[in-house]
A and B are shown apart, each in its own frame.
Chain A
Amino acid sequence: MAEHSRLRPYRVLLGARVRAQSSYRASFGLDLLTSLLIGLVELAEVWVLYRSVDGIGGLDLTAALLVFGLADTAFSIADLVVGHLDTLPQYLRAGTFDVFCLRPQPLLAQLVTSDISLRRLTRVAVGITVLTGALITADVPLTPENALLLLLALVAGTLICAGIFVAAAGAQFFLVDASEMTNAIVYGGRYASTHPAAVWSRPLVALFGFGVPMAFAGYLPTLTLLDLPTPWNLPGWAGWLAPLAALWTAVVAGLSWRLGTRHYQGGGG
């Protein structure tokens, strides 16, 4: 019961955000449409690249779409829930972040519930559609094992992406003006997650294979699912390690956020 009442303010807040965003019908519809267009253009990039060749880095078009479907769904859900954290530099510069510090609630929980980008729902829809289509085309048998792997990959992928958003937000307290530096990790990671990691050079493997474990969001689970050869001397069941990658990201995100908020000294207001 106590737990229930503690979460109530957030629930009320989120409900208000949802109502606010959907009450301007025309504008909300347009937002949904633009978001759909973004998803489609990202899909078109993959399609254009893979249609002209037999396969890149061991992935044919179907396998590439499976990677895209998994990784993009995960990223889009994370973006929907915590994507607005990347506006933190604006709060910091304007000094409005101090308002959050005054309230007797955890900072991160306040920031996460300060906004929700419902318009990104259509992007999630694109991801899920591509994922379903690719699963059907690839003729993946619907065994309980495969279903579990897919579910694990989606949940872990979403947590990895969300963790990266939080870790990047923590770094903003130090960077402020150079926020594009974390964009390299967040959006570079999104790009990385939808392509075959086998073609990467060593530094890229270190960065996006293990440091920011984007390869675990779509690529490695796909290899395990389709029984394709795995790179970097990893075992064939490497796709099952996605939850471990998610755990690692959560630790990094937690550390980054703690360091960041401890470093913050106020906007001088």
Chain B
Amino acid sequence: MRARVWFRIHGRMFSAGWRRGSTYRAAALGGLVANAVFGFLKASVLVAAVRAGGGDIGGYDATAIVAYTWLGQALLGSVNLNGRSDLATRMKDGSIAVDLLRPVDLQTATTAQDLGRALFSLLPRGVPLIALGVLAGGMRLPLDPLILALGAFSVVAGTTLSYLVVYLVAVAGFWIVETRGLQTAYMIVSGFLAGLFVPVTLFPGWLLTLARATPFPSMLQTPIDVLSGRLTGAESAQAVLVQLAWITGVLVVGQVVTGAGRRRLEVQGG
């Protein structure tokens, strides 16, 4: 019974996020154009790099790097690599007090809502960019339904993980109120370590180790590698398990931090 209520509430939050995403059509179009231009620019530079590297850099050949670029652009509307969230705004203006009065868990409810928004944006941004990558960019996707299913799961996992970490950035506001600096820091670090610019496997050893010690590669590089079929069989299953481990870890940290923050919160004014 309680489980049914939980699912109903979180389902509602999810569809609220979905509807919100569908409201701002011009913004989605703008994002699409920006991602497409970056897709063409990055693909040309990275393909040239692959050619200069004798047909392979960091385990990517020309077709793999093209798929990497376009899938990365396609997921950018869903995976939160900018650190911004509605929650951060609500923390700052005090509306968080109202949120905390509700008999739902702040972390899971806002995650469900953001996941709705993020997955909706796959329609106006993800799908057209994948189509553009296939038609104009020379990208290929594996047709194996098993790979595609695991890839889709990995995309949802990466998106969820990205929000859960952004949630941590937002609830840091319990202590420091203005989280803009943290958001910017998150934006700079996450894109680089998630493999948005170049695959992290191209990094020198020490930097690769550093990247793999963070959840960021699990947000973008893993979904891309699984979906494009670059990782197969046991490797892809392992990569998805790493994603799930990060999600569990960040969920637990988020619960602890939210609990501590609740006791700390002081909202001024009436």
Question: Taking beta carbons and an 8 Å cutoff, which residues of A are in contact with B?
Answer: 27, 30-31, 34, 37-38, 41, 44-45, 48-49, 51-57, 175-181, 183-185, 187-188, 191-192, 195-196, 199-201, 203-204, 207-208
Contact = CB atoms under 8 A, between A and B. Distances in A.
Given A31-B181, A37-B188, A177 B44 contact: no
B47 interface: yes
Interface string B21-59: 000101101110110111011101111110011000110
A199 B189 contact: no
B45 A199 contact: yes
B153 interface: no
Interface of A is mostly: helix
Contact of A45 (B27, B29, B53, B192): B192
A37 B185 contact: yes
Q: Which of B24, B34, B191 has the most CB of A within 10 A?
A: B34
14 contacts: A37-B185, A37-B189, A38-B188, A41-B191, A48-B198, A48-B203, A49-B45, A49-B49, A49-B202, A53-B53, A56-B48, A177-B24, A185-B37, A199-B45
A56 B29 contact: no
B184 interface: yes
Interface of B: 24, 26-27, 29-31, 33-34, 36-38, 40-42, 44-49, 52-53, 57-58, 181, 184-185, 188-189, 191-192, 197-198, 202-204, 207
A37 B33 CA distance: 27
Contacts, number: 106
B47 A199 contact: yes
B203 A34 contact: no
A177 B26 contact: yes
Contact of B27 (A34, A51, A178): A178
Contacts of B197: 45, 48
B27 A201 contact: no
A183 B34 contact: yes
Given A38-B188, A56-B49, 13 more contacts: A41-B188, A41-B192, A49-B198, A52-B202, A56-B52, A178-B29, A181-B33, A191-B41, A192-B41, A196-B48, A199-B44, A200-B41, A201-B44
A34 B26 contact: no
Q: Which of A31, A183, A187 has the most CB of B within 10 A?
A: A183
Contacts of A38: 184, 188
B26 A204 contact: no
Given A196-B48, A199-B45, A199-B48, A191 B40 contact: no
A180 B33 CA distance: 8
Contacts of B189: 37, 41
B29 A55 contact: no
Contacts of B52: 53-56
